[in-house]
A and B are shown apart, each in its own frame.
Chain A
């Protein structure tokens, strides 16, 4: 096994880039290939070949690639944990289930020459609707050193993830939306004062889960993304039994302080989970910005 690891790592310089999910700056391939939703298991959903799978195997401590203990309060750990959060949300989130990192317990990193940096994070997450804390998550996050942005590769498991039971809520919501006479739509969620109409909350969550895919794909060691705002959401005609929505979301990167606008299409049903079927970056200045004026007292 150990030999395999050495050979594999030796072969890395020969492996060019990244298969299914090549991300160039402006548009992402459909995540259809990326989503292999199996309840209870959190395998990486990238279609990796053996060499890449090996890179994500649990690391053995090796003096050639020393592990560096990280301060859990400092930003390298924070940024890596955020990537794991985005990954977790995309694979396990729903309009009733949205996770945020609660506490980072332990963090370390290793520089892998010619490859990048791999982080090991132990953390807890809090589900936003139920306020439940899922205590024991471990993640490995590999940031590759590439010329262009490439999505970090994540391996993440959480004990007790299944204790957050939202399938009833999800099914109820699904049926509620399916049986609406008119397609759902909304703008400015939250509004300038932070208000969200009750019926928009699930669409806000869904936007957050869909945006998690984009934020995961766009993350690197110099970013810290959050979804700042849902500019607009519009239900699309569903083929099959998936609900489909078109969103424009604002993402905030804490490091550059820039706010970027993404257009995305999101498909969802309770059994298959969330998929981002299309997305692209909107150029700065395309959208008229939300204004608080209508809320002046």
Chain B
């Protein structure tokens, strides 16, 4: 066995060259037992294993998918190991070289057949995060930042040219509130734009060369699934509350920013229930942990909601002006103006507390107080005619115009790095 492995290693070393990825494969391994985890770690110590998810072998754990890229020569070795261990697995990419070639040949570099102009179920979005990552390995990587209350994975996409060193980053999340379906639709659209226009659109290319963009397409995965299966108007998480049958906490009242002092309810049955304590919700904690861990590189935080056509910034938990109020207002107004150029859609800009309502526990205020200066909340279309039930025919124009605002903000951030 060891001789074979050694030969495999030599063969790999000798074949490194311009078509180094010919026949290379990407596998998804599904370790169930500690034995499987051990086997993967062993393999990684003997041969070259390029971890796509998680980031390295230390993070391999049972019941978490492991996506790895191995060369053509090592693939048979891996297959043997998989057969011997009985580990469940699938091949995500048969030939990495041709997948990469496709990326440059096709205009449709996003997942073929994926519909960005329809509202997609959680399962579809989850599968899409895998395939968009697999199809764009130079630009996209995926990690799991946690699991929801009901055990659904929270996938985070990282967009950006891989440079080997860490770059300043923007964090974008969608779908904090389950019924705001246009929001996850926007995050999917943004990723599609990134992978299809990188290299051809100057602004997008500059952004992804100089920065990384973290995109959380669905923050409140349990709530989102619930809007598909049971209640289209659900807003909160689906966590249980003690002493009541009422379910869920408002994630955007659950961050540690003036938590529960105003504009939030301490009653679990309320739509703005702030939770039993700040970050009581696992989903909120997962995002907060990630942002905290990466606070030194995260320069902007964008959170996408609907509806009302507003571009808000701190503070919402107080009417006091943020230290950077003037700059944030100027950026918001510039972004709103950019948005309006496409279809004339009117947005109102301002601090949350006076523009919409005072509300404590919001993610934008929390990120801002953590030191993320450029912190914005989008409330997308419309102003009430359809409200949460925005027609699918409006997904495209809404996303197109919102891209202009996001790019405006991203440009300002790049020009004003701190």
User: Are the CB atoms of B355 and A192 closer together than 8 Å?
Assistant: no
The distance in angstroms between the C-alpha atoms of A226 and B385, with both chains bound, is 8
Shortest beta-carbon distance, B153 to chain A, in Å? 20
User: Are the CB atoms of A252 and B232 closer together than 8 Å?
Assistant: no
Instruction: Please name all residues of chain B whose beta carbon is closer than 8 Å to the beta carbon of A63 when the two chains form the complex.
Output: none
A interface SS class? loop
The answer, among A71, A194, A289, for a CB contact under 8 Å with B386, is A194
Using a CB-CB cutoff of 8 Å, which residues 252-278 of chain B contact chain A? 270-272
The answer, among A71, A195, A226, A252, for a CB contact under 8 Å with B392, is A195
The distance in angstroms between the C-alpha atoms of A69 and B31, with both chains bound, is 65
7 nearest CB pairs, A to B: A194-B391, A226-B384, A289-B231, A257-B271, A190-B389, A194-B389, A74-B354
Shortest beta-carbon distance, A13 to chain B, in Å? 31
A193 at the interface (CB under 8 A from B): yes
Contact (A290, B385) CB under 8 Å given A103-B346, A194-B392: no
User: Are the CB atoms of B357 and A293 closer together than 8 Å?
Assistant: no
- The residue of chain A having its C-beta at the shortest distance from the C-beta of B350 within the complex is A73
A159 at the interface (CB under 8 A from B): no
User: Are the CB atoms of B119 and A193 closer together than 8 Å?
Assistant: yes
The distance in angstroms between the C-alpha atoms of A71 and B351, with both chains bound, is 12
Instruction: Please name all residues of chain A whose beta carbon is closer than 8 Å to the beta carbon of B348 when the two chains form the complex.
Output: 73
The distance in angstroms between the C-alpha atoms of A135 and B17, with both chains bound, is 68
- The residue of chain B having its C-beta at the shortest distance from the C-beta of A253 within the complex is B271
User: Are the CB atoms of A75 and B392 closer together than 8 Å?
Assistant: no
- The residue of chain B having its C-beta at the shortest distance from the C-beta of A291 within the complex is B230
Instruction: Please name all residues of chain A whose beta carbon is closer than 8 Å to the beta carbon of B181 when the two chains form the complex.
Output: 192
User: Are the CB atoms of A73 and B355 closer together than 8 Å?
Assistant: yes
B363-386 CB contact bits vs A (8 Å, 1 = yes)? 000000000000000000001111
The distance in angstroms between the C-alpha atoms of A19 and B385, with both chains bound, is 32
Using a CB-CB cutoff of 8 Å, which residues 116-148 of chain B contact chain A? 118-119, 121
User: Are the CB atoms of A250 and B233 closer together than 8 Å?
Assistant: yes
- The residue of chain A having its C-beta at the shortest distance from the C-beta of B252 within the complex is A257
B205-245 CB contact bits vs A (8 Å, 1 = yes)? 00000000000000000000001111111110000000000
The distance in angstroms between the C-alpha atoms of A75 and B356, with both chains bound, is 5
Instruction: Please name all residues of chain A whose beta carbon is closer than 8 Å to the beta carbon of B42 when the two chains form the complex.
Output: none
Using CB atoms and an 8 Å cutoff, list the residues of chain A in contact with chain B.
71, 73-75, 98, 100-101, 103, 128, 190-196, 226-229, 250, 252, 254-259, 289-293, 296-297
User: Are the CB atoms of B271 and A256 closer together than 8 Å?
Assistant: yes
Instruction: Please name all residues of chain B whose beta carbon is closer than 8 Å to the beta carbon of A252 when the two chains form the complex.
Output: 387-388
**Could you tell me how many residues of chain B have their Cβ less than 8 Å away from some Cβ of chain A?**
38
Contact (A194, B394) CB under 8 Å given A228-B389, A289-B230: yes
User: Are the CB atoms of A190 and B231 closer together than 8 Å?
Assistant: no
User: Are the CB atoms of B389 and A192 closer together than 8 Å?
Assistant: yes
User: Are the CB atoms of B232 and A192 closer together than 8 Å?
Assistant: yes
User: Are the CB atoms of B388 and A228 closer together than 8 Å?
Assistant: yes
B103 at the interface (CB under 8 A from A): no
Instruction: Please name all residues of chain B whose beta carbon is closer than 8 Å to the beta carbon of A194 when the two chains form the complex.
Output: 386, 389-394
Ordered by A's residue number, 5 sampled pairs between the chains whose C-beta atoms are within 8 Å are A103-B346, A191-B389, A193-B391, A289-B233, A292-B228
Instruction: Please name all residues of chain A whose beta carbon is closer than 8 Å to the beta carbon of B346 when the two chains form the complex.
Output: 103
The distance in angstroms between the C-alpha atoms of A192 and B389, with both chains bound, is 6
B337 at the interface (CB under 8 A from A): no
Shortest beta-carbon distance, B400 to chain A, in Å? 17
The answer, among A128, A195, A228, A297, for a CB contact under 8 Å with B233, is A228
Shortest beta-carbon distance, B334 to chain A, in Å? 15
User: Are the CB atoms of A229 and B233 closer together than 8 Å?
Assistant: yes
Shortest beta-carbon distance, B300 to chain A, in Å? 23
Instruction: Please name all residues of chain B whose beta carbon is closer than 8 Å to the beta carbon of A227 when the two chains form the complex.
Output: 384, 387
User: Are the CB atoms of A195 and B391 closer together than 8 Å?
Assistant: yes
Instruction: Please name all residues of chain B whose beta carbon is closer than 8 Å to the beta carbon of A195 when the two chains form the complex.
Output: 391-392
B111 at the interface (CB under 8 A from A): no
The distance in angstroms between the C-alpha atoms of A69 and B308, with both chains bound, is 23
Instruction: Please name all residues of chain A whose beta carbon is closer than 8 Å to the beta carbon of B250 when the two chains form the complex.
Output: 257
- The residue of chain A having its C-beta at the shortest distance from the C-beta of B272 within the complex is A257
The answer, among A98, A190, A258, A293, for a CB contact under 8 Å with B228, is A293
Shortest beta-carbon distance, A84 to chain B, in Å? 14
Instruction: Please name all residues of chain B whose beta carbon is closer than 8 Å to the beta carbon of A128 when the two chains form the complex.
Output: 385
The distance in angstroms between the C-alpha atoms of A290 and B226, with both chains bound, is 11
The distance in angstroms between the C-alpha atoms of A252 and B235, with both chains bound, is 12
Shortest beta-carbon distance, B362 to chain A, in Å? 13
User: Are the CB atoms of A229 and B350 closer together than 8 Å?
Assistant: no
- The residue of chain A having its C-beta at the shortest distance from the C-beta of B351 within the complex is A74
User: Are the CB atoms of B390 and A255 closer together than 8 Å?
Assistant: no
User: Are the CB atoms of A190 and B354 closer together than 8 Å?
Assistant: no
Shortest beta-carbon distance, B356 to chain A, in Å? 6
B53 at the interface (CB under 8 A from A): no
User: Are the CB atoms of B271 and A289 closer together than 8 Å?
Assistant: no
User: Are the CB atoms of B391 and A289 closer together than 8 Å?
Assistant: no
User: Are the CB atoms of B354 and A75 closer together than 8 Å?
Assistant: yes
The answer, among B233, B383, B386, for a CB contact under 8 Å with A190, is B386
Instruction: Please name all residues of chain A whose beta carbon is closer than 8 Å to the beta carbon of B350 when the two chains form the complex.
Output: 73-74
Instruction: Please name all residues of chain A whose beta carbon is closer than 8 Å to the beta carbon of B355 when the two chains form the complex.
Output: 73-75
Shortest beta-carbon distance, B320 to chain A, in Å? 15
Instruction: Please name all residues of chain A whose beta carbon is closer than 8 Å to the beta carbon of B229 when the two chains form the complex.
Output: 291-293
User: Are the CB atoms of B354 and A258 closer together than 8 Å?
Assistant: no
The distance in angstroms between the C-alpha atoms of A292 and B181, with both chains bound, is 12
- 16 A-B pairs besides A227-B384, A252-B388, A258-B270 with CB distance below 8 A are A74-B354, A75-B354, A98-B385, A190-B389, A191-B389, A192-B119, A192-B228, A194-B392, A227-B387, A229-B389, A254-B308, A255-B357, A256-B272, A257-B271, A259-B233, A289-B234
User: Are the CB atoms of B233 and A193 closer together than 8 Å?
Assistant: no
